[in-house]
Each structure stands twice: as C-alpha cells, then as structure tokens.
C-alpha cells in the first residue's frame, strides 16, 4: 500500500472510534464470524494482519469486538456446515477468503454481510454480480489478475532453462483452482511446455501424487489449494527430495521452503478486508462497495532452496525479487 493511502486509511480510525465506543457502552460487542479454509496455525499471519488493522480502526477483541473462528482444516466439504453454524450464531458479519468459503457463506445466508479477503475470480464463480457493483450481501477483494500465469512461468523458465515438462498439484472441484490451472496450461502451451495435473483433495493424496509425477516433470506448480496450503512444509520437503523446483502464487509457500512465488500479497489483502468490514459495521451496504482488485504483486525467492536444488541464480534475477529468503 502506498504510504499516503495508508495514512489516509489510518486517519479513518478516529471516525470508527465513536461507533466502537458505543458498542462497548451499549454492552453488545460486534461479532464477526471468520470462516477459514485452513487451520488457525496455517493462517495465523493472515488473521493477524486483519486483527491488527481492525485494532487501528478502533475495533478491539474483548472490548467492542468478538471473533468466532471456524476452520475447515483443508476439508472443503465442512465449509457449508461451518457457515451454517455461524449463521445460527447470528453474527453481524462473516469474513472469509479464497473461493469455496465465500460460496458456502453466500449459500448459507442472503442477509448477513459477507466480506471475502482473497477470492480468485469472484465474478466467474458467481460470488458477485460484478466487480463494480457486487450486489446482495457480499463484497471483498479479488486476488486474480490477467496475464499473471504467464508472468509466473516466465520467471520460472529463467532459472530452469529448457523447461519442457511442468507438473501441477490441483483440485479441480475448487472453481478458482480450476481456472488457475486452465490459465497456467494456456500459458505453458505458448511456451512449449507440457503440463500434467495431479489432483489432491485430502492430505492423504499428497504422497501418491508425488509418486505418480516421478520422472514426468522438471518443475512443479502448487496453487493455493486449502489442503496444500495447510501441508505446504510437507509438499516442499517432498519436492526438494524429488529435486523439483517449485512455483507458487503466494509467498507463504516460499517462506515454508518453496522456491519462488509471484502473486498478490495476502496479508496486505486481509488488512484491506478490515477496511471493508469497518465500513459495513458502520452501516454501509456490502453490495454497494466495489470489489477491489490487487494493485501490488510481489516476487519472492528462496535462495537457500535454490542452492539446495543446485540452481544458478543470476545476480540480475536476484535484484528483481521483492524479497530474497536466505
């Protein structure tokens, strides 16, 4: 976020304080239901970004705010049950992310406001009617952008010269992952790279997927599947053992030992989601708040992993990275 924009948003905290104070004095705390696809531990950095920004805006847990956390722990089939549970609790707002959780929340309620922090293609997956006017009871932030798949592969090909075979861990039941895989396949085709996909829906599918892709790939792309995000350390360990450079869409995988990522900054988006929540708690209709698209993308490289894989990273390539992990 640009410094000037951040200062402007921070200044909005003074406006939120009167409402926060009234919530405290009235004895009723505003209640947010947080519907997460992973686990509390796996998504701790994301929720911390949200809670921290809410605090800046005057909303403090235990004082004028309660957050009911519900985690699917990588099992998308649990999302509908968890969303219905939050509706029964009569929360004031549901905060969620990615694609399956907002869909589950939208199916569970047409009246409780919903904010999504990182949905991939909210229009294409029918989460919102349009980006400019989402309509209904839902709005949030989209993490998808045109040509991003091509940019990721361009970066990967620079440090894996002659790349011809790419494996993808996917879950085609997930609408966003299905779209992401399709875009990656199209980009790979334009570069003359063959693609093989391997579905993982449960943690038990990870090891068999690596057995199946042995000898069939020179690199591996791992999109943000909930089960993969939760088990990202294990996936990176198996990839390193198989001598496979890994490509990701978010930095959290690289922080856990993956090779490189290019995509939107999720903690930043979760912090921005707090501004959406603040507006809605102050009575702005969610359907009137345009969906925000990412404006900042970051390239993160794990140099330790690159060295372990025996890859030679040119100095010019390192200088282009927004962050190098050593």
Per residue in 51-98, pLDDT (tens digit) is 999 999 999 999 999 999 999 998 889 999 999 999 999 999 999 998
Domains 3-144+265-295 and 148-263+298-325 share a fold: yes
CA distances, 170 to each of 21, 176, 181, 238, 319 (Å): 46, 10, 7, 16, 31
Per residue in 123-132, pLDDT (tens digit) is 988 899 999 9
Backbone angles phi, psi at 269, to 5 degrees: -70, -35
Neighbouring C-beta atoms of residue 295, cutoff 10 Å: 11
Beta bridge partners of 138: 114
Question: What span, in angstroms and rounded, lies between the C-alpha atoms of 70 and 85?
Answer: 9
Q: Among 3.40.50.720, 3.40.50.1000, 3.40.50.2300, 3.90.1580.10, name the CATH number for the domain at 3-144+265-295.
A: 3.40.50.2300
pLDDT > 90 in the chain, percent: 77
Per residue in 188-210, pLDDT (tens digit) is 999 999 999 999 989 999 999 99
pLDDT of residue 21: 44
Does residue 16 surpass a pLDDT of 70? no
Band (14; pLDDT cuts 50, 70, 90) = very low
Q: Which CATH class is domain 148-263+298-325?
A: alpha beta
Query: Which sequence spans correspond to the domains of the chain?
Result: 3-144+265-295, 148-263+298-325
Residue with tokens 């000898």: 215
Backbone angles phi, psi at 221, to 5 degrees: -105, 130
């Amino acid at each position: 976020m640009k410094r000037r924009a951040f200062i402007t948003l921070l200044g909005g905290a003074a406006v939120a304080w009167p409402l926060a104070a009234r919530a405290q004095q009235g004895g009723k705390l505003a209640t947010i239901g947080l519907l997460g696809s992973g686990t509390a531990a796996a998504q701790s950095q994301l929720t911390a970004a949200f809670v921290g920004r809410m605090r800046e805006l005057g909303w403090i847990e235990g004082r004028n705010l309660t957050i009911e956390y519900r985690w699917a722990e990588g099992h998308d089939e649990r999302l509908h049950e968890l969303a219905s549970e939050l509706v029964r609790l009569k929360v004031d707002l549901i905060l969620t992310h990615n694609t399956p959780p907002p869909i589950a929340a939208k199916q569970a309620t047409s009246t409780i406001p919903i904010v999504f922090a990182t949905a991939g293609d909210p229009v294409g997956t029918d989460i919102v009617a349009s980006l400019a006017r989402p309509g209904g009871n839902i709005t949030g932030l989209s993490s998808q952008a045109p040509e991003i798949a091509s940019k990721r592969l361009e970066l990967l090909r620079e440090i894996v010269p002659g790349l011809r075979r790419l494996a993808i861990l996917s879950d085609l039941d997930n609408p966003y992952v299905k779209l992401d895989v399709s875009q990656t396949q199209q980009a790979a085709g334009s570069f003359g790279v063959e693609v093989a996909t391997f579905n993982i829906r449960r943690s038990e599918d990870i090891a068999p997927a690596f057995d199946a892709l042995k000898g069939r790939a020179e690199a591996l792309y791992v999109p943000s599947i909930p089960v993969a995000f939760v088990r990202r350390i294990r996936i990176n360990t198996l990839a390193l053992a198989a001598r496979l450079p890994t490509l990701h869409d978010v930095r959290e995988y690289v922080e856990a030992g993956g090779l490189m990522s290019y995509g939107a900054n999720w903690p930043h988006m979760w912090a921005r989601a707090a501004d959406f929540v603040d507006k809605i708690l102050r009575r702005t209709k969610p359907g009137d708040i345009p969906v925000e698209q990412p404006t900042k993308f970051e390239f993160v490289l794990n140099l330790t992993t690159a060295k372990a894989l025996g890859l030679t990273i040119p100095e010019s390539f390192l200088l282009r990275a927004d962050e190098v992990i050593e």
